[in-house]
A and B are shown apart, each in its own frame.
Chain A
Amino acid sequence: MVADFARDDRKVAMLFLLPGVGALLVTYLVPLAYSLGLSFSEWDIRKPGAQWVLSGFGNYTDLLTSEGFWRAGLRSLIFTLAALPIELVLGTMIALLLTSEMVSSKLSALTRVLMLVPLMLPPVVLGILWRLLLNVNYGPVNSLLGLVGLGPFTWAAAPDTAMATIVLVEVIANTSVVSMILIGGLLSLPPEPIRAAEVDGAGPWRILFEIKLPQLASYYLIIVLIRVMDLLKTFDFIYALTGGGPGDSTSMLNLFIYRVGQRFLDYPMASAASWVFLVALLPLSIWLLIKAVASSKDYLND
């Protein structure tokens, strides 16, 4: 709106947009178009020099009738739906703990800094680290649990405990995200309504559930959206921790697509799976978009 005015500004604006928009076209539109074409094609990579040829919906029907794909999708869903509520509840508790007046403020400030550590840990390192910690025979976790008479657990080494293990590691690593956002929110709450409720004789639980948390609704919305998108995309630490195994017990959609493409070299099928994944994410993305764009009317300039 400012420079709607000066005539030369639009030319400069186009110039400014050029590198970014160009890069977006090259790095998103081109590969997407390529992968869309590929997903409707057949490509026999065993024949040297063979090119891919369009062949219709074959890959999609194969994919949607393959059990492996649905199982991978289901695992993505389970992983997300298991980790999200735990992270929300734990994150809320930690945020409350670290903003509580009963905890020394120095200690909680220190804890807040330390909480960055699991969050900033490179995901690959996270996977490796928990591989060491949860080693069935030589890991400290089983040994410590043994001291109180628990275990030994198989953790990531057995198909029936691997998924739970992944969820556990995910929760430990990323609950900090939830707490950090909520701490900011809690600290920015206006003190007056809380004081007023205290004067009115409301107990701490009532204040928490009827005054504090409702005011954080928008924060929770953002957290849920961000976490769901990230959980569905999780790849790195699972790759380093279990590689999708044992068997395919932790092979979620991401890993499924990666395996189909890079291990089995079935590029058309992997492309089709990517597109199904994308389309499945679409409703969620659109919701997020509506939320984000609605809250950023100022940026829209129109």
Chain B
Amino acid sequence: MASTLRLERITKRFGDFVAVDDVTVDIAPGEFTTLVGPSGCGKTTLLNIAAALERPSTGSIVIDGRDMTEFNARERGIAMVFQSYALYPHLTVRQNLGFPLRVQKVPKAEIARRVNEAADLMEIGHLLNRKPRELSGGQRQRVAIGRAVIRPSTVCLLDEPLSNLDAALRVRVRAELKLLFARMGTTTMFVTHDQSEAMTMSDRVVVLKDGKVQQQGAPLEVYRNPANVFVASFIGSPQMNLLPGQLASDDGRPAVKAGALDLGLSAGLAAAAGARSEIILGIRAEDIATTPFANSSKFSARIELVEHLGNSAIMHYRTADGGRILGMEMRDSGVGTGWSGDVHVNLDAVKLFDSKTTAAL
């Protein structure tokens, strides 16, 4: 059955530089977990540590409850898809797929059978006799994944396997990949710097920055309740509106002022904000619209620019005091560039962050 993987308090130093800083990640059997973060945040390093390609400075790797820190990749039973695919250039696709089995001295007939199986799964049956250099980027990626899934593995690691594909292919493949791994039920750790991949593919996301875990949880949970300003700005497109503001009270009712916005706060948020005066206000674009919400507050602004996405549009609002705010409209809302009037904020979706620690309140 599928395995568990636990990276326990992993730290990796290169000289004085700390690439991975006290990271703990727990992956349940069959779970598809995504490591996401900006370039250079230590994703590949963490993956290499999990695959025994790199030794952690401190911390341990536990697979199925067993400490595997001192074991090599083979003994850990890990499969991996590399960012550059790392296909063996001198071997044909057939030999590339069969290579992990050949190393394990699987009988020839069995290798042939499983190669065909994997080729069918990845739909690369017609490419079996080609060399990697005769393949397109998408085909190479399929071979690389095929090579990883051909043998039973405890955990499958994928390092940005989609980043070398063109945009259209990437969107298609990410759905296929998700289906494939759901069907196989392998425990998977997937690395990407693209938050939309993280959102769409994973059962759970781990957001990394500067080697530290910022937040982990189900994608929607992370989206709805980002743990800090970094996660709020990194996850979600368009970016969440983040406005510095002050806490105030309107006739005794708690409120927050940020530029042209003056929003009443729910009792819960007001309690969380406590005695602070400075605050960072976070509102997702879809919670700002020209039509009122159930519990909304409004400010006046002008539409400066409209980015049409087809099914919806991103509105760039400019307030009287010069502030910019992003909102979102469905496609038939009928407002356009130059429109000005009242804009509504969904008070139920307002987030507050501490202005110093940037943590969510």
Contacts and interface: CB of A to CB of B under 8 A. Distances in A.
Q: Indicate if A touches B (C-beta under 8 A).
A: yes
Interface of A: 2, 4-7
A105 B73 CA distance: 53
B175 interface: no
B52 interface: yes
B72 A7 contact: yes
A5 B61 CA distance: 14
A98 to B, nearest CB: 33
Interface string B39-71: 000000000000011110000000000000010
Contacts of B53: 2, 5
Contacts of B72: 5-7
Interface of B: 52-55, 70, 72-73
Given A4-B55, A6-B52, 7 more contacts: A2-B53, A5-B52, A5-B53, A5-B54, A5-B55, A6-B72, A7-B70
Contacts of A6: 52, 72-73
Contacts of B52: 5-6
Contacts of A2: 53
B292 to A, nearest CB: 58
Nearest to B51: A5
A1 to B, nearest CB: 8
Contacts of A7: 70, 72
Contacts of B70: 7
A223 B54 CA distance: 39
B353 to A, nearest CB: 40
Nearest to A8: B72
A2, A5, A7: residue with the most chain B Cβ atoms closer than 10 Å: A5
Contacts of B55: 4-5
Nearest to B72: A6
A5 B54 CA distance: 7
12 contacts: A2-B53, A4-B55, A5-B52, A5-B53, A5-B54, A5-B55, A5-B72, A6-B52, A6-B72, A6-B73, A7-B70, A7-B72
A36 B72 CA distance: 47
A90 B114 CA distance: 64
Nearest to A2: B53
Contacts of A4: 55
Contacts of A5: 52-55, 72
A2 B54 CA distance: 7
Q: Which 3 A-B pairs have the closest CB atoms?
A: A6-B72, A5-B55, A5-B52
B152 to A, nearest CB: 21
Among A2, A4, A6, A7: residue with most chain B CB under 10 A: A6
B19 to A, nearest CB: 13
B360 to A, nearest CB: 39
A6 B73 CA distance: 8
A7 B74 CA distance: 12
A7 B73 CA distance: 11
A4 B53 CA distance: 9
Contacts of B73: 6
B246 to A, nearest CB: 52
Nearest to A6: B72
A7 B71 CA distance: 8
B67 to A, nearest CB: 15
A297 to B, nearest CB: 13
A4 to B, nearest CB: 6
Nearest to A4: B55
A261 to B, nearest CB: 49
A5 B70 CA distance: 8
B71 to A, nearest CB: 9
B84 to A, nearest CB: 15
B207 to A, nearest CB: 28
Nearest to A9: B72
A6 to B, nearest CB: 4
A7 B55 CA distance: 12
Nearest to B70: A7
A190 B54 CA distance: 38
Nearest to B74: A6
A159 B70 CA distance: 72
A5 B73 CA distance: 9
B22 to A, nearest CB: 21
A216 B194 CA distance: 42
A290 to B, nearest CB: 22
A240 B187 CA distance: 73
B308 to A, nearest CB: 40
